[in-house]
Amino acid sequence: MFGAGYVGLVTGASFADLGHEVVIRDVLPDRIERLQAGEVPIYEPGLDEVLERNAGRIHFTLDMAEAVEGAEFIYVAVGTPPTHSGDADLSAVWSVVDGLPADLPGRPIVVMKSTVPVGTGGHVRARLDERGLTNVGYVSNPEFLAEGSALADFMSPDRIVVGAFQDGDGDRVVSLHSAIATEIVRTDVPSAELVKLAANAFLSTRISFINEIANVCELVGADVVDVARGVGLDHRLGPHFLRAGIGFGGSCFPKDVTSLKQLAGNSGYPFLLLQAVWEVNELQKRRVVAKLQKHLGSLRGKKVALLGLAFKPNTDDTREAPSRVIAYRLLAEGAEVRAWDPVAHPDDLQGVELCDSVLDAVRDADAAVIVTEWPELRSVASPEVRDAMARPVLVDGRNLLDPVEARAAGFVYEGIGRPRHASPADLQSLRELDAELRH
């Protein structure tokens, strides 16, 4: 298993749990040392137990030769972050492929777990052939793990997608998962690669769609939570990924939307829908700042508490998290920003003061924003929090709280797309806010 990040560790640990022998290789000495010492370098619920339980079947190494010795499957689970042009940076993939020893015995199969542009499998195949590694198979087996529920997603997936150049290679990858009962999608390599990008892009589209519906709700006096429920009960549509909020983040959706848009563009097709999905998401993060301005006027010198920094609950991941854009926008407006998160403590949010407790973060604050829907925040509309704040303005970026209860607790409360309980004056200013954002 190349890569000891979220995907590599979860996939490696899960394969060991299924009884396979796993060697996980990474290029970061610190990461490998910590793993060898029994420490888990990422926050993923349950991962420590699975790693511990399978300690005898999992080895960690920095050494390429040790990783591939005797390997029947060579999983690639390295990062493929976007470059400045929006293309995926495949340098980590190439360093694995080009680093493979030229004399691998038998028929090991390179299995691509990393999310890569369509066509990558073909390029890897050609590169292997050029190096004389014609005995090495290649299979695309995209991952659909969501952070926070990754172990369960691995063991009970909705489907396993296997795209192979040769049927026999695909059969072997399928049999590796024989203990997992699910639908298997057998296809060619480019189709498997595209399933992954299309699935993430479609989920992102649903989020941007419901966020736009939320913005319309604010203008016409409807409640997006009820609208989403009414829409989602249609079995053709389903209820998932219809939670309106402050936009999607994380290491996958933003990257994959960009990557698919870029891939289509490079192939001569402008993917207009995804351009809109992206723009809606950028606007959605910024709307929070405009909402605060509506309540506080200029933000210069105002104190704002951000509650939650992770891009979603149950993870310490703040990559592309909406909290980052909101924090830096607030700082740019001259606000003082304090933040609390139960597990995410990023050290690169310059200018943001990280606090140990919610009460610390909200002390003397002019407003608080729920950025991540951590369960701990369900009880945030309390008398202690209200009394600690200079002004009880609470913007709920995830519609975590009941608006009626939050207002009854003495907060000036505003969710996303939930103006039903707002006064006509509030509605008018929401319309003005919308007009302003459009310009």
Residues in touch with ligand UGA (CB under 6 A): 115, 143-147, 200, 203, 207, 241-243, 245, 248-250, 252-253, 311-312
Least spacing, CB of residue 29 vs ligand UGA, in Å: 25
CB nearer to ligand UGA: pick between 241 and 328: 241
Least spacing, CB of residue 425 vs ligand UGA, in Å: 29
Of the candidates 224, 252, 250, the one whose C-alpha atom is nearest the C-alpha of residue 396 is 224
Q: State the catalytic residue, choosing from 10, 74, 252, 344.
A: 252
Helix (H) or strand (E) holding 291: helix 272-296
In the three-class reduction of DSSP (H, G, I as helix; E, B as strand; rest coil), residue 2 is classed as strand
CB nearer to ligand UGA: pick between 191 and 205: 205
Least spacing, CB of residue 3 vs ligand UGA, in Å: 12
Least spacing, CB of residue 344 vs ligand UGA, in Å: 12
Under DSSP, the state recorded for 179 is T
Integer Cα distance of 282 and 149 in angstroms? 26
| Strand order across the 352-355 sheet | 352-355, 336-340, 303-307, 367-370, 393-396, 412-414
Q: Find the largest Cα–Cα distance for the chain.
A: 74
Q: Note if 217 is an active site residue.
A: no
Lookup: tokens for 83: 């470059």
CB nearer to ligand UGA: pick between 370 and 389: 370
Least spacing, CB of residue 392 vs ligand UGA, in Å: 25
Integer Cα distance of 163 and 140 in angstroms? 5
Least spacing, CB of residue 102 vs ligand UGA, in Å: 32
Of the candidates 189, 185, 158, 190, the one whose C-alpha atom is nearest the C-alpha of residue 174 is 185
Integer Cα distance of 334 and 22 in angstroms? 51
CB nearer to ligand UGA: pick between 136 and 280: 280
Handedness of CA 309, 313, 316, 320 (dihedral sign): negative
Specify which residues 312 forms β-bridges with. Answer: none
Lookup: tokens for 431: 């319309």
Least spacing, CB of residue 362 vs ligand UGA, in Å: 22
With 0-12 / 13-18 / 19 or more C-beta atoms within 10 angstroms meaning exposed / middle / buried, residue 298 is exposed
The residues near 401 (Cβ < 8 Å, ≥ 6 apart) are 370, 378, 380, 381, 394, 413, 415
CB nearer to ligand UGA: pick between 31 and 243: 243
**From the CB of residue 183, how many other CB atoms can be counted at a distance below 10 Å?**
9
Contact 147, 44 (CB under 8 A): yes
> Is the backbone of residue 22 left (phi > 0), alpha (psi -120 to 50) or beta?
beta
With 0-12 / 13-18 / 19 or more C-beta atoms within 10 angstroms meaning exposed / middle / buried, residue 312 is buried
Least spacing, CB of residue 355 vs ligand UGA, in Å: 22
Least spacing, CB of residue 252 vs ligand UGA, in Å: 3
Specify which residues 23 forms β-bridges with. Answer: 59
First-to-last alpha carbon distance for the chain, in angstroms, is 49
CB nearer to ligand UGA: pick between 282 and 364: 282
CB nearer to ligand UGA: pick between 312 and 386: 312
CB nearer to ligand UGA: pick between 86 and 99: 86
CB nearer to ligand UGA: pick between 207 and 305: 207
Residues carrying an active site annotation = 252
